[in-house]
Amino acid sequence: MKEYGAESVRNIALIGHGGSGKTSLSEILLYTSGEINRIGNIAEGTTASDYSPNEIEKKISISSSLLHLEWNNVKVNILDTPGYSDFLGDVKAGLRVSDTAIMVLKSAEGVEVGTENAVRFAGELNLPVALLINKVDNEHSNFNKTFQQAKERISPNAIVVTFPSNEGLNFNTVIDILSMKAYQYGEAGSKKVNVTDIPGNLRGTAETYRTELIEKVAETTEELMNKYFEEGSLSNENIETGLKIAVSKGSLSPVFAFSSTKAVGMNNFLDFVSKYFPSPADKGGEEAVLKDSKNKILLKPDASGEVVLFIFKTISEQHVGELSLFKVFSGTVFAGLDLINQSNGKTERLSQLSVLNGHNRTDVTKILAGDLGAVVKLKDTHTNNTLTSKNLSVLVNKIVFPEQVINSAIIPKAKGDEDKIATGLHTLHEEDPSFSVKFDPEISQTIISGQGELQLALAVKRLKERYSVEVDIVEPKVPYRETIKGKADDVEYKHKKQSGGRGQYGHVHCKFEPLPRGKGFEFVDAIVGGVVPGRFIPAIEKGIVDTMQKGVISGNQVVDVRVTLFDGTFHPVDSDEMSFKLAAAQCFRKGFQESKPILLEPIYTVEVTVPEEFMGDVMGDISSRRGKILGMDSDGHFQVIKAQVPLAELYKYSSTLRSLTSGRGMYKRDFSHYEEVPKEVEQKIIEEYNKSREEGH
Any idea what the CATH number is for the domain that residue 640 is in?
A: 3.30.70.240
Query: Considering Cα of 122, then 127, then 129, then 134, what sign does the dihedral take?
Result: negative
What range defines the domain where residue 419 resides?
Answer: 406-474
Per-residue DSSP letter, 552: S
Check whether 287 has a pLDDT greater than 70.
Answer: yes
Decide if 243 is inside a domain: no
- Residue range 224-243: mean pLDDT, rounded: 89
pLDDT of residue 74: 97
CATH at residue 417: 3.30.70.870
Decide if 696 is inside a domain: no
CA distance 697 to 695: 6
Contacts for 207-215: CB closer than 8 Å, 24+ residues apart: 209/159, 209/160, 209/163, 209/177, 210/177, 210/180, 212/159, 212/160, 213/159, 213/160, 213/161, 213/177, 213/178, 213/239, 213/243, 213/252, 214/239
How confident is the model over 86-142, as pLDDT tens digits?
778 889 999 999 999 999 999 998 887 667 778 888 999 999 999 999 999 999 999
pLDDT of residue 53: 61
Decide if 167 is inside a domain: yes
- Residue range 17-24: mean pLDDT, rounded: 82
Residue 78 neighbours by CB distance under 10 Å: 27
Q: Which of 487, 488, 490 is nearest to 567 (CA)?
A: 490
Question: Confidence band (pLDDT; 50, 70, 90) for 689?
Answer: very high
Decide if 373 is inside a domain: yes
pLDDT of residue 116: 73
- Residue range 199-215: mean pLDDT, rounded: 95
Give yes or no: residues 139 and 39 share one domain. yes
Q: Is 171 helix (H, G, I), strand (E, B) or coil?
A: coil
Question: Confidence band (pLDDT; 50, 70, 90) for 61?
Answer: low
CA distance 283 to 248: 8
Give yes or no: residues 499 and 434 share one domain. no
CA of 40: how far to CAs of 26, 31, 37, in Å? 10, 9, 9
Strand partners, 196: 182
Decide if 210 is inside a domain: no
pLDDT of residue 20: 82
CATH at residue 572: 3.30.230.10
Give yes or no: residues 257 and 307 share one domain. no
Give yes or no: residues 447 and 315 share one domain. no
Strand order in the sheet with 488-497: 488-497, 504-514, 561-569, 521-525
pLDDT of residue 637: 73
Q: Which segments within 466-617 are labelled E, that is strand?
A: 471-474, 481-484, 488-497, 504-514, 521-525, 561-569, 597-611
Q: Which of 92, 125, 124 is nearest to 15 (CA)?
A: 92
152 contacts: CB under 8 Å, gap ≥ 6: none
243 contacts: CB under 8 Å, gap ≥ 6: 178, 213, 217, 252, 276
CA distance 401 to 398: 9
Residue 511 neighbours by CB distance under 10 Å: 19
Residues 288/306, Cβ–Cβ less than 8 Å: no
Give yes or no: residues 608 and 574 share one domain. no
pLDDT of residue 59: 65
CATH at residue 131: 3.40.50.300
How confident is the model over 669-687, as pLDDT tens digits?
899 999 999 999 999 999 9
Check whether 648 has a pLDDT greater than 90.
Answer: yes
Cα 157 from chain centre: 28
Give yes or no: residues 550 and 677 share one domain. no
Which of 576-580, 600-604, 662-666 comes out lowest in average pLDDT? 662-666
pLDDT over 70 for what percent of the chain? 95
Domain stops at, among 421, 441, 474:
474
CA of 30: how far to CAs of 27, 99, 191, in Å? 5, 19, 12
CA distance 298 to 286: 6
Residues 214/180, Cβ–Cβ less than 8 Å: no
How confident is the model over 410-465, as pLDDT tens digits?
999 888 888 889 888 988 888 788 999 999 988 889 999 998 888 898 889 888 88
415 contacts: CB under 8 Å, gap ≥ 6: none
CA distance 612 to 506: 66
The per-type count for the chain, helices as H runs and strands as E runs, is 17, 37
Domain stops at, among 375, 396, 417:
396
Higher model confidence: residue 255 or residue 463?
A: 255
Stated pTM of the model: 0.85
Question: Confidence band (pLDDT; 50, 70, 90) for 320?
Answer: low
CA distance 143 to 639: 28
Check whether 303 has a pLDDT greater than 90.
Answer: yes
CATH at residue 346: 2.40.30.10
pLDDT of residue 162: 98
Domain stops at, among 396, 416, 451:
396
Residue 673 neighbours by CB distance under 10 Å: 12
Cα 537 from chain centre: 51
Give yes or no: residues 279 and 295 share one domain. no
Give yes or no: residues 508 and 657 share one domain. no
Give yes or no: residues 346 and 261 share one domain. no
pLDDT of residue 50: 57
Decide if 229 is inside a domain: no
The number of folded domains in the chain is: 5
Give yes or no: residues 273 and 337 share one domain. no
Give yes or no: residues 278 and 306 share one domain. no
534 contacts: CB under 8 Å, gap ≥ 6: 527
CA distance 401 to 381: 18
Higher model confidence: residue 629 or residue 41?
A: 629
CA distance 246 to 216: 8
Q: Please give the helix or strand (H or E) that residue 685 lies within, else none.
A: helix 679-694
Decide if 454 is inside a domain: yes
Q: Please give the helix or strand (H or E) that residue 361 lies within, else none.
A: strand 360-364
How confident is the model over 355-399, as pLDDT tens digits?
988 878 899 999 999 999 999 988 889 999 999 999 999 999 999
Give yes or no: residues 424 and 356 share one domain. no
pLDDT of residue 54: 60
CA distance 679 to 317: 52
CA distance 118 to 95: 9
Contacts for 216-225: CB closer than 8 Å, 24+ residues apart: 216/157, 216/159, 216/246, 216/251, 216/252, 217/242, 217/243, 217/246, 217/252, 218/242, 219/246, 219/251, 220/245, 220/246, 220/249, 220/251, 220/252, 221/245
Check whether 191 has a pLDDT greater than 90.
Answer: no
1 contacts: CB under 8 Å, gap ≥ 6: 355, 362, 364
Pairing between β-strand 129-134 and β-strand 253-257 as defined by DSSP bridges:
parallel
pLDDT of residue 112: 76
- Residue range 519-535: mean pLDDT, rounded: 94
CA distance 98 to 118: 13
Check whether 407 has a pLDDT greater than 60.
Answer: yes
Residues 36/357, Cβ–Cβ less than 8 Å: yes
Decide if 219 is inside a domain: no
